[in-house]
Structure 1
Amino acid sequence: MKTLVIGASKGLGKALIEGLGEPGDTLIGVSRSQPAHLDHKAGVSVHWVEANLADPAVAAQTIAAAVAEGGLDTLIYNLGIWEEFAFDPAYNFLTDDDSQIEAIVTCNITSTLLLIKRLLPVLLNSANPRIILTGSTSGLPQSGRPEVTFGASKFALRGIADALREGYRQQRLGVTCLNLGYLNTEDPLSTPRELAAQRGEGHAIPVHDVVQVVRMALSLSSASFVKDITLPAILDERF
């Protein structure tokens, strides 16, 4: 299996590179620069593409060219930015800078669309093509969150997923949207899961759990797919 992970240099993306794959598989990480240190499973080949999704058209072309010859089975789009004061009591939509709003839309929506458009011809050559979009519980109805631009961008991901399923069902394209709650990205995959689960005292999800969910979704046959998964922290009162 050949899997492309966007936003792979840190946090959840880095955990996906380190935790996915089986011997003989290929993982391709994408970020503005390659991290200095990266662990991965034995027998898994890891490659890197340097691209900045803040410039969607150029990045999409660069990434598509990098995978055109070797093919691709799975795209994991794990990239998103949010407002300066998001998830903070100080957040106020009226004080958000216009340029910041444009940057969030560009990174979270425009780059997603342009990259998927460039990669679909390659993905659809796979016997089991998959796209996994890292969404958020902020993109669910009545999410309880006030961040307008970030929430709108995560709602958009769910719309993208729905439309792609309709447009490419006959080509057996499986599109999954992960609606994730608050993540503990301070503890990497190398931290024991039991220890990482203690951070936040029930209010944060260790990246280990998300990696496990993604592994499950990618282990399915071409006869089925996971449509949506909502993964909140156990003490998230919104759920």
Structure 2
Amino acid sequence: MKTMVVGASKGLGRALIEGLGEAGDTLIGVSRSQPQGLVAQTGVALQWIEADLTNPEEAVPHLHRALDGQGLDTLIYNLGIWEPQAFTSAYDFLGDDDAHIQAMVSCNVSAPLLLIKRLLPLLLKSERPRIILTGSTSGLPRSGRPEVTFGASKFALRGIADALREGYRQQNLGVTCLNLGYLNTDDLLSTPRDIAEQHGEGQLIPVHDVVQVVRMALSLSSASFVSELTLPAIGDERF
């Protein structure tokens, strides 16, 4: 299986690169620069494409050219940016910079739309095509969060997933939207999970758990798929 992970240089993206795949599989990481010290699973081939999805008009054609002649089974879009004061008491929508709002919409909404549109013909050649979008609990109704642009962009991802499922159901395209709560991205996948889960006092999700969920979703047969999954922290009082 060949899987592309967009936004793979750090945090959850790096954990996905290090935790996904089995012997004989290929993982393609995408980020502005390739990080050092990545360790893929035994027998998994690792490729890297440098691209900046905050500029999708240039990045998407570049990624398409880089995949020329290759197949693709799974696309994981794990890239997203948020307001500078997001998730703090200092957040104020009226103080958001207009240019940054446009940059967020471009990276969080326009980029996945353009990339999926360009790569979908490759994906549909797979026997089991899959797209996984990293959403957020901020994109759920009554999320309890005030970040306007970030929340809107994550709502948009759920809409993208819904429409793609309907448009390409006959081609067996499975599209998953992961509604994730707050993550512990300080601890790498190499950190023992029983240690990582202690950080945040029940308010942070270890990246280990998200990797396990994605592995489960990708292990299913072609007869089923995970359409949407919400993964909040155990101590998140919004859920």
Alpha-carbon distance in 1 for matches of 2:130, 2:66: 18
- State the distance in 2 between where 1:192 and 1:67 align: 35
CA contact (8 A) 1:16 1:211 kept: yes
1:170 aligned residue? 170
1:24 alignment counterpart:
24
Shift of 1:233: 0.0
> What is residue 109 of structure 1 aligned with on the other side?
109
State the match for 1:97 in structure 2: 97
Cα pair 1:68 1:122 within 8 Å, conserved: no
> Quick one: which amino acid aligns to residue 68 of structure 2?
A
Runs of 4+ with >3 A deviation? none
On the 8 A contact 1:138/1:145 being kept in 2, the answer is yes
* 1:145-224 correspondence to structure 2 within 5 Å: 145-224=145-224
After superposition, the CA RMSD in angstroms is 0.5
Give the C-alpha shift of residue 144 in structure 1: 0.1
Aligned-pair distance for 1:129?
0.1
Q: Give the gaps of 5 or more residues in structure 1.
A: none
CA distance in 2, matches of 1:220, 1:156: 26
Instruction: Please state whether the residue corresponding to 1:175 is helix, strand or coil.
Output: strand
Q: Deviations over 1:70-129 (max 9, x none)?
A: 200000000000000000000000000001100100000000100000000000000000
What is the one-letter code of the residue matched to 1:82?
A: W
User: How big is the shift at 1:45?
Assistant: 0.1
2-side partners of 1:216 and 1:68: how far apart? Answer: 29
TM-score relative to the length of structure 2 = 0.99
Q: Deviations over 1:143-197 (max 9, x none)?
A: 0000000000000000000000010000000000000000000000000000000
Match of 1:68 in 2: 68
Matched residue, 1:39: 39
- Tell me by how many angstroms 1:68 deviates: 2.8
* CA distance in structure 2 between the aligned counterparts of 1:119 and 1:75, rounded to whole angstroms: 9
**TM norm structure 1:** 0.99
Match of 1:51 in 2: 51
Contact 1:189 1:207 in 2 (8 A): yes
Displacement after TM superposition at 1:66 (Å): 1.6
Q: Which runs of 5+ in 2 are unaligned?
A: none
- CA–CA separation in structure 2 for the residues paired with 1:221 and 1:2: 16
Name the SS of the counterpart of 2:175 in structure 1: strand
Taking the TM superposition and a 5 Å limit, the aligned residue runs for 1:125-140 are: 125-140=125-140
Separation (CA, whole Å) in 1 of partners of 2:174 and 2:10: 26
Measure the CA separation in 1 of the matches of 2:171 and 2:54: 30
1:64 is displaced (CA, Å) by: 1.4
Q: Are 1:19 and 1:211, in contact at CA under 8 Å, matched by a contact in 2?
A: yes
CA distance in 2, matches of 1:66, 1:226: 29
1:63 positional shift: 1.0
The one-letter code sitting in structure 2 at the alignment partner of 1:190 is S
- Equivalent pair of 1:77/1:132 in contact (CA under 8 Å): yes
Q: 1 CA distance for matches of 2:163 and 2:140?
A: 17
